[in-house]
Structure 1
Amino acid sequence: MYKIGVLGDYDSIYGFATLGIETFPVDASGAGEKIKELIAGDYRVIYITEALASEIQPELEKYEEQITPALILIPGITGNTGDGVANVKASVEKAVGSDILFGEE
């Protein structure tokens, strides 16, 4: 069975453990290697805080064209930067060929 994990700073991700999701507090220096470890360990959905994702963007780009893992950006305790919504919007546009939020911005 595939697994779900969450990467980011401890304060932003510790609540996910109450949902039974494994948490991995990391900073930018260890995030790339941790993602590789998770993929090797059958993690197919990986939530990443927006703050961490902005620091490791080149590493995340390696997985853009792959079906798995699904790398999903989430807000951290510092707030929502809008990167997560933009990422989902771009994925949907790519999948359906249309801007689903046309006129709502």
Structure 2
Amino acid sequence: MRVVILGDEDTVNAFRLIGFEGYVTDAKSIIPRIKELMAMDDVAAILVTSNISSAAGQEFVNLRTRVRKPLILEVPSLGGAGYSEVNYMAILRSVLGL
């Protein structure tokens, strides 16, 4: 199973250094890239940097709460201004239909 990071160049390169597969993307191309990765059976998780996910807006939030596999998580970007609180329990409930 693979874990893939999508986001800005600095964060993706940092994750590549520790062995993750990663793709530099922008807010316009993030949704098509996630859908492409969702079609692959061996992708277990997709990590998306906070600066890209914020710019992608509600479409990213809807996609993240709608799919069961792969798990889509937001991670802080290296150049980010801060951490936004995410209610992972609510996301899990939504994905699992609880």
Aligning the two structures, in what range does the TM-score lie when normalised by the shorter sequence? 0.7 to 0.9
State yes or no: 1:91 paired with 2:91. no
Q: What is the aligned partner in structure 2 of residue 102 from structure 1? A: none
Q: Hey, what does 2:12 align to over in structure 1? A: 13
Q: Report if aligned partners of 1:50, 1:80 keep a CA contact under 8 Å in 2.
A: no
CA distance in 2, matches of 1:95, 1:35: 18
Per the alignment, residue 45 of structure 1 pairs with: 45
Residue 78 to residue 66, structure 1, CA distance change in 2 (3 Å): same
Corresponding residue pairs, total: 91
TM-score (norm. length: structure 2): 0.78
Runs of 4+ in 1 over 6 A off after TM superposition: none
Unaligned runs of 5+ residues in structure 1 are: 97-105
The alignment's TM-score, normalised by the length of structure 1, stands at: 0.73
| Structure 1 counterpart of 2:69 | 68
Instruction: State the match for 1:99 in structure 2.
Output: none
CA RMSD of aligned residues (A): 2.0
Task: List runs of 5+ in structure 2 lacking aligned partners.
Answer: 94-98
Larger Rg: 1
Percent identity at matched positions?
Answer: 24
Cα displacement (A) at 1:51: 0.5
Alpha-carbon offset, residue 3 of structure 1: 1.5
Q: Larger relative CO (CA 8 A, sep 6+): 1 or 2?
A: 2
Q: 1:14 to 1:68 in 2, by over 3 A?
A: same
